[in-house]
Structure formats: structure tokens, C-alpha cells
Amino acid sequence: MADMKIPRATAKRLPIYYQYLNILADAGQKRISSSEFAAGVKVDPRTIRRDFSHFGTLGKRGYGYDVADLLAFFKKILKQDQVTKVALVGVGNLGHALLNFNFHRDNNIAIRAAFDIDPAVVGTTIDDIRVYPLTELQNQLQKQAIKVVILTVPEAAAQTVTDQLIAAGVEGIMNFTPTRINVPATVIVQNVNLTSELQTLIYFLNHRTLDQQGTNKE
């Protein structure tokens, strides 16, 4: 997917398509119409057709989509046909929860190492993942050839740790800190701000309520 020039919004929807296809495959479904697929993933059919158009012809008119073929295609596009090694930096409450969540058991994503400065957690093992001191960051990342990192450190340390990650050759960072970290163009950052996401949800809930009140008054 890195070699394909597709919109970021499209790239963010691809895992949704892939996860739904896995559900269909597990249920033994062989094919699915475009309208059924759109209803299943809760995405407008026109958006799906536009997303799929970036990859050529994925379905057949009058037939829909072959579930096995489409699943194999997205598995390759999303690199789910190979294991991606990941490290986590910052084993606080959120970092600890992510390690315990163990999402890598359901995907070809494997957290291979964690890092922290707290003596209480350094040297421990959480769900078979060893916690190293931050001083071992560059050595372990390079030794284990880890290019993707989940960042859950305190806000004040975000940029300093990011600079160390860049020096270690990291190419992708999932940033759970509120800080907008500075990285070179060669590094991709995915910002995940849980507070902002919740505030956005509350905003839409409030405005939906206001819209409904306005409609009722009419």
C-alpha cells in the first residue's frame, strides 16, 4: 500500500473492510453484493466504489464480490500476510492496558518489546512482553528490527522520546500523547487522542439533540 497513492481517508477505511471480510469468511459466505457490503460496513456504496477504484476491478457487475478473493487482496494490501513487529514506549496506565489487551493475537501484529523508566516495571514481563529500560531503546529496536512504535509516554517527554525513536530508525509512530510530535517526512505518525475523540462524540450528540429540538418546534 505504501507504493499506492491513495487518499488517507481511504487508507483508514481499509481495515474496516478487511475485518468485515474476515467475519464473512468465518461465517462461510462465498460472495456478497455491493449493497450488502455497504450495509455491513456502514459505509456509503459510492464511497466504497471510489475506495475500491484505486485498486482496479475488485468485483463483477451482477455478481458482487468474491469474499475469499477480496479477503486475500486486502490481507496482502494491509500486510496481514506477514508479521509486523511493534514496540510500546511508556508502560503507564494506558500502555499497560494496551499490553494486556493483546490485540496482536488477532492480527499479524506482534508487540515484541516495551520500554519505560519506572524501576517498578523495568525488567518485568507483561503478557510475555519484556519491559526494557529506556536506555535500551535504540539498541533493542535496531537489534529486533522494529520499525513501528506505540507511544504512550507523558506529554512532556513525547518529543524527546520521538527524537530517540527517529535515531533508532523507526518509520511509523502511533502517538497516543496530546503532543503533535515533530518528525521528518520519512516517518509516518498516526495521532490517537482519546480525549479529542470523546469531545467530538459529545459535540455531535449535543448538536444532534439541538437539531431534533429545532425540528420538533417546527
CB atoms < 10 A from the CB of 188, how many? 13
The β-bridge relationship of strands 84-89 and 109-116 is parallel
Q: Quick check: 124 and 131 in contact, CB under 8 A?
A: yes
Task: Please state the separation of Cα 4 from the chain's center in Å.
Answer: 18
Q: Is the pTM of this model over 0.85?
A: no
CATH 1.10.10.10 is held by the domain 8-77: yes
The predicted structure's pLDDT at residue 61? 73
The domain limits of the chain are 8-77, 84-195
Which amino acids are annotated as binding site for NAD(+), given as ranges?
90-95
Fill in the amino acid letter for 105: R
The predicted structure's pLDDT at residue 127? 86
Which amino acids are annotated as binding site, given as ranges?
90-95
Q: What is the pLDDT of residues 12-24, one digit of tens each?
A: 899 899 989 989 9
Interatomic CA distance for residues 188 and 54, integer angstroms: 21
Same fold, 8-77 and 84-195: no
Interatomic CA distance for residues 36 and 3, integer angstroms: 30
Q: Domain 84-195 class?
A: alpha beta
The predicted structure's pLDDT at residue 209? 57
Q: What is the pLDDT of residues 104-151, one digit of tens each?
A: 555 678 899 999 999 999 999 998 899 999 999 999 999 999 999 999
